[in-house]
Amino acid sequence: MSNQYDEIKKLVQSSRNMLGKQNELNESRSRLVGYGLINEQPIGSPINAVSDQPDNIAKSIETEIDVETNQEPKDKQQAYRISGGILVMHGKKQSDLELTTEEKISFQQTMDEFVEEVSELVDFYPLNVYPNNVEWSGKVIDQDLEFFYTIGENNGVYINGDMIKLNENFSDFVQKLASYYNKFKAKWGRVLATRKKTSTEER
Read off the pLDDT of each residue in 155-182 and give the average, rounded to a whole number.
91
User: Residue 167 has what pLDDT?
Assistant: 86
Instruction: Find residue 79's DSSP bridge partners.
Output: 88
pLDDT at 169 over 80: yes
Read off the pLDDT of each residue in 102-107 and give the average, rounded to a whole number.
93
pLDDT class for 67, splitting at 50, 70, 90? low
pLDDT tens per residue, range 176-187: 999 999 999 999
What are the backbone angles phi and psi of residue 145, rounded to the nearest 5°? -150, 160
Residue 175 CB neighbour total at 10 angstroms? 11
Read off the pLDDT of each residue in 106-130 and give the average, rounded to a whole number.
95
Give the DSSP letter of residue 118. Answer: T
pLDDT at 87 over 80: yes
- Output 165 or 135, whichever has higher pLDDT: 135
User: Residue 161 has what pLDDT?
Assistant: 87
User: Residue 14 has what pLDDT?
Assistant: 72
- Output 74 or 47, whichever has higher pLDDT: 74
With a pLDDT cut of 90, the percent of the chain lying above it is 40
Instruction: Report d(CA 147, CA 135) in Å as an integer.
Output: 11
The predicted model scores a pTM of: 0.61
Instruction: Report d(CA 99, CA 86) in Å as an integer.
Output: 12
pLDDT class for 175, splitting at 50, 70, 90? very high
- Output 103 or 163, whichever has higher pLDDT: 103
- Output 51 or 38, whichever has higher pLDDT: 38
Q: What is the mean pLDDT of the chain?
A: 80
Residues 6+ apart with CB under 8 A from 104: 80, 82, 87
pLDDT at 149 over 80: yes
